[in-house]
Amino acid sequence: MLTKRIIPCLDVTLDEEGGTVVKGIEFVDLRKAGDPVELAKRYNEQGADELVFLDITASHEGRGTMVKVIERTADEVFIPLTVGGGINSIEDIRQILRAGADKVSINTAAIKNPDLIKEASEIFGAQCIVTAIDCKRNTNIKDHPDKTILELEDGTPAWYEVVIYGGRQPTGIDAVQWAKKVEELGSGEILLTSMDKDGTYDGFDIPITRKLSDELEIPIIASGGVGNPEHMYEGFTKGKADAALAASIFHFGEYTVNDTKEYLRKKNIPVRL
């Protein structure tokens, strides 16, 4: 049985210090969590399976990803590093991989130019290409009969709308349909973030996580909402995710990666200790 991956996420913004890890709620109200290189070292030592580094304001600010910070981070960690934010072209991907990343995460640019996924997968290999899908629940199903309708926890029917530019812009695109398309285009895995759950400590968005896990062959990384290791357990069991991503609970010292893995092991979830 494949082991389930625990992935700390570094949401990074550019500031006068060169780069700071931040965490917010539903992509806003950001508070500082520390230096990305120092946090990366900590999670490497704690036994994280991978790291995700997201330059969360690059697309919105119309700039490239902070390559120098990525180089410094890559020098300090010995686990796979995925980098996203502001990646718009094959040359951007090449630059990020040269800086030390093992994978790149494409979000806004993939929506604007889906062929970028196909081209990148053919050049660098599907294993290097992660498509990030940020989505938000939309309960207006009357006007959207063509969408994939899921039942929320309270029984409310809803579809999940893809949002871009760090959650600032809705697209009208159905997240389930988009996920199937990016798999066809050659994406190696999907990083799924529920904007409704992000930073809430309420647990993963199970309906959309389970739907994508059931419908797709490629791995699904669940993201958004982890408040404790129990939520990760639910993400793996109810949501059927292949990997669980978390930020706040690790950044602010509530749990370590090792604590989380020990908890999951006791609940019979296969993890790498």
**Catalytic pick among 92, 134, 174, 242:** 134
DSSP codes of every residue in 46-102: HT-S-EEEEETTHHHHT----HHHHHHHHHH--S-EEEESS--SHHHHHHHHHTT-S
Q: Give the whole-angstrom CA distance, residue 200 versus residue 173.
A: 24
Rounded Cα–Cα distance for residues 72 and 101 (Å): 11
Q: Is 11 a residue of the active site?
A: yes
DSSP sequence for 90-127 = HHHHHHHHHTT-SEEEESHHHHH-THHHHHHHHHH-GG
Average per-residue pLDDT for the chain: 91
**CA 48 – CA 251 distance, rounded (Å):** 13
The band of 29, judged by pLDDT with boundaries at 50, 70 and 90, is: very low
Residue 56 has pLDDT above 90, yes or no: no
Confidence of residue 5 (pLDDT cuts 50, 70, 90): very high
Matching residue, tokens 């991503």: 245
Reply yes or no on whether 174 is catalytic. no
Catalytic residue, chosen from 11, 49, 55, 198, is 11
Say if residue 27's pLDDT is above 50: no
State yes or no: pLDDT of 185 exceeds 90.
yes
The residue with greater pLDDT, 252 or 158, is: 158
pLDDT band for 14, please (50, 70, 90 cuts): low
How far apart CA 269 and CA 58 sit, in angstroms, is 36
Q: What is the pLDDT of residues 201-239, one digit of tens each?
A: 999 999 999 999 999 999 999 999 999 999 999 999 999
Q: Can you give the pLDDT at residue 68?
A: 85
Task: Say yes or no to pLDDT of 111 above 50.
Answer: yes
Contact 11, 54 (CB under 8 A): yes
Please write the tens of the pLDDT for every residue from 130-174.
Answer: 999 999 999 999 999 999 999 999 999 999 999 998 778 999 999
How would residue 270 be classed by pLDDT, with cut points 50, 70 and 90? very high
- Is the pLDDT at 123 greater than 90? The verdict is yes
Q: Tell the residue number behind the tokens 């370590």, with chain if given.
A: 256
Backbone dihedral region for residue 154 (phi beyond 0: left; psi -120 to 50: alpha; all else: beta): alpha
Helix (H, G, I), strand (E, B) or coil at 258: helix
Q: How far is CA 38 from the centre of its chain?
A: 20
pTM score of the predicted model: 0.91
- Residue from 146, 171, 153, 118 nearest 239 by CA: 153
Beta bridge partners of 105: 84, 130
Over 90: is that where the pLDDT of 19 sits? no
pLDDT at 267 over 80: yes
Of residues 36 and 48, more confidence is placed in: 48
13 has a pLDDT exceeding 90: no
